[in-house]
Structure 1
């Protein structure tokens, strides 16, 4: 089949020659792909704004030697007017960067595509805000099979329930994959909130309870839960994202104010 059609999001782009671009798209049918959009940088491009960042389009492609080439695009949903808002742009840039970084090419992940559709709906409704990043983190990790263990010790499997280790604190280790019980913490003082050499750190048990609750919420429900609650969870969820990325992403650095 020399020509095929997918429904997908534009996650990123870079210039190619004087008038073309290489786009990173994520589609329901094929997952992440790098494709060529010829002439898209021209003032009167036939694609118009249909291939702008985070637009969702029906994209027709011709199979190329190395990269497939876009021959047509029809808009499904556009949110470009909302992306002039800094909070909305930061949120979708963050989500797009993580999907690009954590997904292998040419591997469909339907639930992740559904997450992007849900996020686009929130942004289109004017509710997109960077406070939603922890909800994006959890949904993305869960969809990719990387969700942190929040109900038992990630090392030995002991059920922990809602019990803190000590002084209202619980131990979390991205390296281990989630919560760590007092036995597996070994000689480390459970009252010590400083990060350990293995990446483990202490969080308030109340924060852990809120993180558990967030797992069951849609993005719309998370927005109603309040920005203050979500913002408090950022350092915790970002620690797991950073571990799986093997680095701190530009979007995370910007969100944490460390650039």
Structure 2
């Protein structure tokens, strides 16, 4: 596959060099991929605002010698209302970290993509209080095959410990927002 055109959520950004950035995108049809966005950290870059975390973007990339290189990106939905509330940002970073850790690269998971899209839309429409994150985490584990669904989790800490044991490290998003 030389060219790649898809739609996806920006999960993670990692700075590389002076002006480049690696971007992890959870796509609808190609799964989790990592692309190199050249020059996106420059002050004159037109793509910088498009590749913000949790933006739903339509993008094109080309296969380079080692990885995909982002050639075009447009925002489909920015979820800007969610980025103004610190509690929302905390939950969104947790969602991004969970999907980034649990989904293997280059494997299509359209159900997980729909689950994330529906959850973000529900948060944007009805607020953070009306969303059950425990159910989302449990559904994510069931869809990815890590949990059978016969027994339900009691609370968020039980899910967190299960996931931390699964990936064999602590979740970083929990430590960012400790008071």
Structure 1 unaligned runs (5+)? 152-207, 212-231
TM-score (norm 2): 0.88
* Cross-structure match for 1:215: none
RCO comparison, higher one (Cα < 8 Å, 6+)? 2
After TM superposition, list the pairs within 5 Å mapping 1:47-86 onto structure 2. Answer: 47-86=47-86
Distance, in Å, in 1 between the alignment partners of 2:41 and 2:123 is: 26
* Cross-structure match for 2:122: 122
Instruction: Check whether the contact 2:142–2:149 (CA below 8 A) recurs between aligned residues.
Output: no
SS in 2 for 1:24: strand
TM-score (norm 1): 0.63
Distance, in Å, in 2 between the alignment partners of 1:117 and 1:149 is: 22
Quickly say closer, same or farther: Cα 1:142–1:40, change in 2 above 3 A. same
SS in 2 for 1:242: helix
Distance, in Å, in 2 between the alignment partners of 1:254 and 1:53 is: 16
Number of residue pairs matched by the alignment:
179
Q: Which has the larger radius of gyration?
A: 1
Q: Tell me the C-alpha RMSD between the 2 structures.
A: 2.3
Instruction: Check whether the contact 1:137–1:238 (CA below 8 A) recurs between aligned residues.
Output: no
Quickly say closer, same or farther: Cα 1:43–1:128, change in 2 above 3 A. farther
Q: How far off its partner does 1:99 sit?
A: 0.9
Instruction: Check whether the contact 1:79–1:123 (CA below 8 A) recurs between aligned residues.
Output: no
Q: How far off its partner does 1:42 sit?
A: 1.7
Distance, in Å, in 2 between the alignment partners of 1:240 and 1:47 is: 37
* Cross-structure match for 1:244: 166
Structure 2 unaligned runs (5+)? none
* Cross-structure match for 1:99: 99
After TM superposition, list the pairs within 5 Å mapping 1:2-151 onto structure 2. Answer: 2-125=2-125, 127-128=127-128, 132-150=132-150
Distance, in Å, in 1 between the alignment partners of 2:65 and 2:134 is: 40
Distance, in Å, in 2 between the alignment partners of 1:99 and 1:149 is: 18
SS in 2 for 1:125: helix
After TM superposition, list the pairs within 5 Å mapping 1:82-231 onto structure 2. Answer: 82-125=82-125, 127-128=127-128, 132-150=132-150
